Amino acid sequence: MSVQKLIETAKMLVADNKGLLAMDESNPTCNKRFAKLGIPQTEEARRAYRELIVTTPSLGEYISGVILYDETIHQQKQDGTPFVQVITEAGIIPGIKVDIGAKEMAGHPGEKITEGLDGLRDRLKEYFHKGARFAKWRTVITIADGIPSLGCIEANAQALARYAALCQEAGLVPIVEPEVLMDGVHTLSRCGEVTAEVLQTVFNQLYRQRVILEGMILKPNMVLPALTCSQQESVDEVADATVNCLLRAVPAAVPGIAFLSGGQSGELASARLNAMNLKFKSRLPWALAFSFARAIQQPALELWQGKEGNVSEAQQALLHRAKCNWAARRGEYNAAMEGTGA
């Protein structure tokens, strides 16, 4: 794939106020969510749930790309149509998660390193031939006493950059996801400090690995107080802190920033994204989009309950959350949308 094609694909992923739907949960994570709702933890149940998602009518009006898991990219509808074909025909770009998870980092208690570089070049070729046009790699950074360490940040940043370079070599747009976790008791300002340091380190490594910034998408956390922090700032304060952090750390060449939801409720994630676009959109060098998983999927999963008769209602809930986030990109989301199911 040419450089120009990479750049075009990256732009398409954040065009028309659309965003990404992350449906790349690993099988163990998917099974945990099923177990909480009494849904069988089987390959067929996972396939049926994913079919519900990819066949949601009009999804392509609000979603530009979907991130798949290895099992998912090989699955089919009940009638035998490959999911990749269903997604592509809906006008949505298929993507694929390619890391193999965050593991305990040797010599760094409480910190993790994401693995999956071994054999990645060959896997990327296979995924490209399967129809994927972008990929995702997630790094997790924990804030606690004495961490994150510089060693952890640098090791993860280098892995992200090496992954991104391999993606572009294979013709895939890399989604670069350095996530500063919401777990803990840290303040908004502490999150901002760590997020800025992480992003600056990541982009330093991306430059060193000669990654084409115009042909990638950044998937960061919003700058937030920890879930159990005693002080929870307003939606507008979060928007200000997040955008100011990004302006100091993210080069203008990057076409788009697609936030992860990271455990936020669907409504709060939409409200915070809306506030950023409402206040800053006309002044920003990059698009502010979304790449949400639970913040789009959770209501649909709870309605579905593993039952065929609930598919249509679950799809309506999924589409509603996608539409809310599309509206948030336009600065047009408001709480009234939740009450009406608009």
Q: What is the pLDDT along the chain (342 residues), one digit of tens a residue?
A: 589 999 999 999 999 999 999 999 999 999 999 999 999 999 999 999 999 999 999 999 999 999 999 999 999 999 999 999 999 999 999 999 999 999 999 999 999 999 999 999 999 999 999 999 999 999 999 999 999 999 999 999 999 999 999 999 999 999 999 999 999 999 999 999 999 999 999 999 999 999 999 999 999 999 999 999 999 999 999 999 999 999 999 999 999 999 999 989 999 999 999 999 999 999 999 999 999 999 999 999 999 999 999 999 999 999 999 999 999 999 999 989 997 554
134: β partners: 95, 173
Name the active-site residue from 97, 112, 219, 323: 219
Please identify which residue in the block is written with the tokens 């994913």. 50
Kindly name the residue from 112, 177, 179, 323 that is annotated as catalytic: 177
Q: How far apart are CA 342 and CA 328, in angstroms?
A: 13
User: Rounded to 5 degrees, what are φ and ψ at 205?
Assistant: -70, -35
Position 286, amino acid = W
Q: What is the pLDDT of residue 339?
A: 73
Instruction: Let me know if 177 is a catalytic residue.
Output: yes
Closest CA to 4 of 143, 160, 168: 168
Catalytic residue list contains 103: no
Q: Chain centroid to CA 65: how far?
A: 10
